[in-house]
Homo-oligomer: A and B are copies of this chain.
Amino acid sequence: MFRTTLPLRFAHCDPAGIAYYPRYFELCDAAIEDWTAAVLGITRREMHVDRGLGLPTVTLTADFAVPSHLGDMLDFTVNVTRVGRSSVDLNVDIDCACERRFSVRYTQVLTDLAEGTSRPWPPELHERLIKESA
């Protein structure tokens, strides 16, 4: 379980004064970016630039329970729920002051950016994911 906190900024809010959902996904992706560095042990920069790997989303499902407002401090909890040969399922729960705001379930696939094809997890990353999903 990995947790990070990000503020809901002016830039994320729509004319109704609440979070605009495409920006919610940008925030979720920021949380996964931080999770990558903390849990997988490599930054996205290393992953992309040095190793030529990406982790694109294949499917996602999002449930929006309660709207968020400008200035809310959002807690993102990232859980690994399944590890495949070259894929990973992530569950991201977003809370504010212990109230569930929304949840996103992702399937992402490790991809060779030059080839555009899936790549099996390198052993050290696979091990960390398995450990994290336990």
Contact = CB atoms under 8 A, between A and B. Distances in A.
Interface of A: 9-11, 13-18, 20-23, 25-26, 29-30, 33, 43-45, 48-49, 54, 56-64, 67, 69-71, 113, 116
A57 B23 CA distance: 13
A116 B66 CA distance: 10
A11 B15 contact: no
A26 B57 CA distance: 16
A56 B67 CA distance: 9
Contact of A49 (B11, B56, B64, B70): B70
Of A11, A15, A21, A29, most buried by chain B (CB within 10 Å of CB) is A15
Contact of A61 (B13, B14, B18, B61): B61
